[in-house]
Structure 1
């Protein structure tokens, strides 16, 4: 069973960077702040690229001690290296409610599929308000 890349819904590949959001050395983004449309979400703890599906491991810190989520590259709206900030086009609540990331299961096909479905549903529900550029 192949991993669903989210290319049918939303109208962009969830597991690929949007045009203009790519970055160079992945170690450079560790510690960057992740900011949603309404609040800071957390900070980048790691970057993973399993099966050519880049994503940020985000430590949400204050909400639940030690909770981390996996943020697909396609959810990133912009990266500001000067401010050390990654902006996403969803609210903090939207991101916090994603299936939690655990190192032991985070690279599994089943986890990636659950995460893909979560974000596809999220983008479908908010399509009119926050549709990302194609």
Structure 2
């Protein structure tokens, strides 16, 4: 899992697999569902609707933060905790999914989490 913007090997993800609607689970519980995904090589990510949290919002999750995809149960699992995901750089608008400065900030945040796990 060397690239934060690519799905890791052997996690159950098949290239091109639609994940929209899948439940998303942090290491310590559910955080929401996949609202949409970007599957462009080198820019793979998920926008997750965290409506299960009070004042739910969307968060951008780089594909490299995904540890498992279970097509049977339609679940995406992450290594990060709910608090770590809440502390991620805030996602506010769709334009941020192409903003290099924002993507650099998000990528660096999730890389630092990976090194601490």
Q: TM-score, normalised by structure 1?
A: 0.76
For 2:81 and 2:109, the matched residues in 1 are separated by: 14
* Alignment match of 2:110 (pick from 106, 119, 123): 119
How far apart are the structure 1 equivalents of 2:80 and 2:43? 20
Identify the residue that residue 48 of structure 1 maps to in structure 2: 38
How far the C-alpha of 1:50 sits from its partner, in A, is: 5.2
Q: Which residue of 2 aligns with 1:16?
A: 6
* Gap regions ≥5 residues in structure 2: none
Retained in 2: the 8 A contact 1:31–1:43? yes
- Do 1:67 and 1:100's aligned partners in 2 also have CA atoms closer than 8 Å? no
RMSD: 1.9
Count of matched residue pairs:
115
- Give the structure with higher Rg (CA): 1
* Secondary structure, aligned partner of 2:4: coil
Q: TM-score, normalised by structure 2?
A: 0.86
In the superposition, relative to structure 1, how do residues 51 and 83 fare at CA in structure 2: closer, same or farther (>3 Å)?
Answer: closer
Specify every segment of 5 or more residues in structure 1 that has no aligned partner in the other structure, as ranges. Answer: 1-10
Choose from 100, 112, 128 the match for 2:90: 100
SS at match of 1:106: helix
Segments ≥4 residues shifted beyond 6 Å: none
Moved more, 47-56 or 73-82: 47-56
8 A contact 1:33–1:84 mirrored in 2: yes
- Corresponding position of 1:110: 101
